[in-house]
Structure 1
């Protein structure tokens, strides 16, 4: 290679070398860059919702809510029947010492609570949910059988509510001081997690 060609070659590769060194330096100085990039990719993947509508999301929440509330109701009933200790029963009604409750909450990223008549005045709850609790109580007093309900609290949270049957030991054990046997399951679902699960389900069906 002649001297002129060597000089020309160096001028050609110089910008590539500078770019490589700059990229290496940025990654070395900012070890969180790769982690951030992965999070950014996840965000972008979540934003690419393929063929998923609000109706699909509501249907999925309804299905998950029905299954979870059924499982929780069965487990809580079984555990309440094992003890008459008021302290232990109070813990169970707050869903303490229920392994499946914790496991389900973590698996589905869902907020699980058992609500009663006093929660109609619970200002920590969204007014939409307090209104539905009030409507549920009225229906129960009228000897009606309320169906499950899904409330869109905001752009990120959907709440599934389901009334516990009045003859269930849960109503008597957890809200025995109420004139009307009344208890409601509150299941708070994060919309993003629901969509992610739906996308994962679609991918599995395609593969």
Structure 2
């Protein structure tokens, strides 16, 4: 009968694997050594977050989304007032030439978009998102007060939406005269980036 190798020699524990990887990176040669080391440290830091529920994520995203939408809405409205040039206004409504909005998107790894009534039929968005936009449009027709909404689109993506007030100058400036003034902010949050922010906040409070 063939002698079998004990199982304990075939498997490594997770701490042992991480330690081996870290040692390998530290002693690796080449200009990318520091980059790999930092990347591994970040992976290890992320893995320390043991339990963050969807409720935790939604609460954090709701707070961030409210603050971000207020800031970018103020910047866009202010810049639109400075010009009547159609081409310049199109660029602004596409969120170009807005330095603060760009900085926020980069800082929080956000995909920021301004949507209108036509996007209810936009196949680039999931059926779930289009359904939310359709509900916002219905509320606008009923003259209901706009409220924020957060949807879990996938295991890695959450989308924050909030409709602009009907009297916002952004509605007409970006989508023309409509029977029902309508515009919605779409902020797509990466779950991983939100967790990192939550982790950083916890560390500062400790």
Q: TM-score range by the shorter chain?
A: 0.7 to 0.9
Gaps of 5+ in 2: 1-22
The corresponding residue for 1:84 is: 84
TM-score (norm 2): 0.82
- 3-state SS of the aligned residue for 1:187? strand
The corresponding residue for 2:52 is: 52
When residues 86 and 47 of structure 1 are mapped into structure 2, their CA distance, relative to the original with a 3 A threshold, is: same
| Structure possessing the higher radius of gyration over alpha carbons | 1
String of CA shifts for 1:93-126, please: whole Å, max 9, x gaps: 0011111111100111111110000111111112
Q: Is the 8 A contact 1:112 1:187 kept in 2?
A: yes
Choose between structure 1 and 2: higher helix proportion. 1
Distance in 2 of aligned mates of 1:88 and 1:28: 51
1:52 CA drift (Å):
2.9
CA RMSD of aligned residues (A): 2.0
Give the count of matched residue pairs.
183
When residues 28 and 163 of structure 1 are mapped into structure 2, their CA distance, relative to the original with a 3 A threshold, is: closer
Q: Is the 8 A contact 2:158 2:190 kept in 1?
A: yes
Distance in 1 of aligned mates of 2:44 and 2:29: 25
The corresponding residue for 1:197 is: 197
- 3-state SS of the aligned residue for 1:189? strand
- 1:1-207 superposed matches below 5 A: 27=27, 32=32, 35-206=35-206
Deviant stretches of 4+, over 3 Å: 26-38
Q: Is the 8 A contact 1:117 1:178 kept in 2?
A: no
Distance in 1 of aligned mates of 2:42 and 2:54: 21
1:34 CA drift (Å):
5.8
Distance in 1 of aligned mates of 2:194 and 2:102: 18
String of CA shifts for 1:50-81, please: whole Å, max 9, x gaps: 55322111111000000000011111111111
When residues 83 and 34 of structure 1 are mapped into structure 2, their CA distance, relative to the original with a 3 A threshold, is: closer
